[in-house]
Amino acid sequence: MSRSLFRWLAAAVLAASLGQPPLRAQQGPPPTGAQQDPHAADELAAQRQALGFLGYLDQGRFADSYAYTGMVIRAQLDRDAFSTQIQKTRVGTGALQTRELIDAGYTTTVSGAPEGQYVVLHYHASFANRQDAVETLWLSLAKGYWRVVGYNIK
């Protein structure tokens, strides 16, 4: 290839590239989790705690699940009373087949509880004797830890 042809091709490529801004400049920076949901870290931490709590329920260790509860529950029920109540909630469901998070949401108010920091989680669950259930958990932040303050299954 002659030098003049090479220079002409190089100049044409350079001119074409100067007419278009870089792709990154057109798109801007990718959105981060904080830009999408400022409470994403809280929701994730609450999910981890909820899964620990649910794990005990799934194993039939109802009294042990009390370790994951917060003051809203503990102010009303001792370990034995809580175990009895939560066992009644799960009676007849059978063994867990699947569980999938539907949604997680951060809020500062929950009905029947004082104002604070809460995460509400909804899980779609399938049990041996109840195939289409929705589990709802309410967790509150206390002393740096997310604690279960409510559980419901429908």
Domain count, the chain: 1
Residue 8, domain member (yes or no) = no
Residue 114, domain member (yes or no) = yes
Higher pLDDT residue, 31 or 151?
A: 151
d(CA 42, CA 119): 8
Residue 29, domain member (yes or no) = no
Residue 80, domain member (yes or no) = yes
What's the domain range around 61? 39-153
Higher pLDDT residue, 33 or 128?
A: 128
Residue 88, domain member (yes or no) = yes
Entry pTM: 0.75
Give 52-69 pLDDT, tens digit per residue. Answer: 999 999 999 999 999 999
CATH of the domain at 49: 3.10.450.100
Residue 14, domain member (yes or no) = no
Neighbours of 53 (CB within 10 A): 22
Q: How far is CA 146 from CA 28, 35, 68, 136, in A?
A: 35, 23, 8, 15
Higher pLDDT residue, 143 or 27?
A: 143
Mean pLDDT of 120-148: 97
